[in-house]
Amino acid sequence: MKVLLAGHKGQLGRTLLPLLAAQHEVRGIDLPEYDIADRAALTRLIHDFTPNLIVNAAAMTDVDGCARDPAAAYRANGLGPQNIALAAAECGAEVLHISTNEVFDGVATHPYHEWQSRNPINAYGRSKLAGEWYTERLLTRFYIVRTAWLYAAGGRNFPHRMIQLADARGSLRVVTDEIGNPTYVVDLVTALRQLIETHAYGIYHLVNDGATSRYEFAQAIMTLSGRGHVPLAPITSAEFQRASTPPLYAPLANHAAAALGIRLRPWQEALADFLAQTGY
């Protein structure tokens, strides 16, 4: 199978590329050489390569940056997926589109199901909803995979930032009222590979099992990395000023993939493995 991987330089793409390349012919594209928001160039590339599957892991993921520049967010996260969907429809390719828990508003009292109504409350979530909208309306053979709180070796992510700040400052202030699913990229890419082998198109939630707060996540990072002595002060999201407003309660429930036998391990096990592998 021929696979076009958009966003191969990101923390998800870097891990996914070699996994797919072990079984398929894979071509990676990313900025600055390729911009999925450039319809003409992307269409030419897709028609020349003629992939069987297009994986869209390309996105503007700087949530606060999206709040400061919603037009840029929409260009990357909305128009880019539209261009991929249009070109995929022309050449008959399947599309695997990576989305986010931030398409939900965070006011639920239980983890969000795959089929629940979306109602994003920030620019990042709205731009990612646009990407989902184009994918599901322009294609019939697609997977939309929502995930959350991704981290991987070498990436700019929450565990890396917490350890960096703990070492620099000697203490941390972390919000207690933002709840989600920490997800290890290594586990996610394994699940993605399993999913594309099923050809069971639809919407999926792929996250490590279990939900937690940012504060509890930081506690686990400190403990497992040998920094349990670092003081952690609990604060509310209202006390942490930032450009974007995240959904406060937005854990995802894995029903659809679990029905296919695809499950990710508990987030605590994944985090321990990540920290051991990275030497933190």
Instruction: Give the span between the Cα atoms of 159 and 69, in whole angstroms.
Output: 26
Cβ atoms within 10 Å of 47's Cβ, excluding its own: 12
User: Residue 223 in contact with residue 170, Cβ under 8 Å?
Assistant: no
Q: Which residue type does 232 have?
A: L
Alpha-carbon distances of 124 from 72, 104, 249, 253, rounded to whole Å: 10, 11, 16, 21
Task: Tell me the longest C-alpha to C-alpha distance in the chain.
Answer: 57
Pick the catalytic residue from 74, 112, 124, 215.
124
Residue 102 gets which letter from DSSP?
Answer: G
Element (H, E) at 180: strand 179-180
Residue 103 gets which letter from DSSP?
Answer: G
Q: Is 151 a catalytic residue?
A: no
Query: Angle at the Cα of 39 (from 37 to 42), degrees rounded to 5?
Result: 90
Catalytic residues, by residue number, are: 124
